[in-house]
Amino acid sequence: MEQLDHMESNLKRAKHGDLKVSIHRMEIERIRYVLSSYLRCRLVKIEKFFPHILEKEKSRAEGEPSVLSPEEFAFAKEYMANTETYLKNVALKHMPPNLQKVDLLRLVPKPNLDSFVFLRVQERQENILVEPETDEQREYVIDLEEGSQHLIRYKTIAPLVASGAVQLI
C-alpha cells in the first residue's frame, strides 16, 4: 500500500497527457485490484476458520510472528463475537438451558492442511520428508533448489512457509 501511495505521488508530479503516465495509472489500478482480491481472499478464510485462527493466535509463543495483521486479528475477534451474539439471540435462547452452550472450535471445520499448494523456493532446502499419498507408496526425501517451483502438501512445508524459506504462489 505504501508503494502504491508513493507511485501515485510520483505520477502527480509527471506531465499530464504523457503516454507513460496513463500506462502507469493502469498499472496502479491493476496492482490495487490484485491487492484487494488478495485481501478479500484472506478475509474469506478468516470468516471460514475464525475459531481455529484465534486459537492458534492464543497459543502462539511469545516472540513468534503473527500470521494476522492487527486489523485482521481485530476483524476475527469481532467476527467471533458477532457470531456468538447472533447464535445466542436467534437460536440458543430458545433452547433448553443444557443446550445453550456452543463450542465454535468444535463446530467450525478446520482448515485442510493436507491440501496441495504451489510454492517457490527462496532458500535451498535439503532432506524434506514427503509423506506418501497412498498406502502402497513409501515416504521419500526431496531437496528444494532455490528458485524452483513445486506443488506439494501444505502440511509438509508449513514450517518452511513460516520461516520464509519458501513462498506460496
Contact 114, 154 (CB under 8 A): yes
Q: Say yes or no: 137 and 104 in one domain.
A: no
CA distances from 27 to 11, 20, 22, 161 (A): 12, 10, 9, 29
Report the alpha-carbon distance of residue 145 to residue 128 in Å, rounded. 11
Query: Which of 19-28, 106-115, 149-158 is least confident?
Result: 19-28
Q: Which three cell numbers stand for residue 112?
A: 485442510
Whose CA is closest to 144, among 157, 126, 132, 159? 126
The CATH number of the domain holding residue 140 is: 3.40.5.60
Amino acid 137: pLDDT: 66
Q: Is the model's pTM score more than 0.85?
A: no
- pLDDT of residue 79 exceeding 90, the answer is yes
The CATH number of the domain holding residue 10 is: 1.20.58.1030
Q: How far apart are the first and last CA of the chain?
A: 19
- pLDDT of residue 14 exceeding 70, the answer is yes
- Environment class of 102 (CB within 10 Å of its CB; exposed 0-12, middle 13-18, buried 19+): middle
Amino acid 134: pLDDT: 63
Report the alpha-carbon distance of residue 85 to residue 91 in Å, rounded. 10
Q: Say yes or no: 155 and 136 in one domain.
A: yes
At 24-77, the pLDDT tens digits run 889 889 999 999 999 999 999 999 999 999 999 998 878 787 889 999 999 999
User: Which position has the grid cell 457470531?
Assistant: 83
CA distances from 52 to 106, 115, 134 (A): 9, 17, 28
> Can you give the residue range of the structural domain that contains 16?
1-109
Domain count, the chain: 2
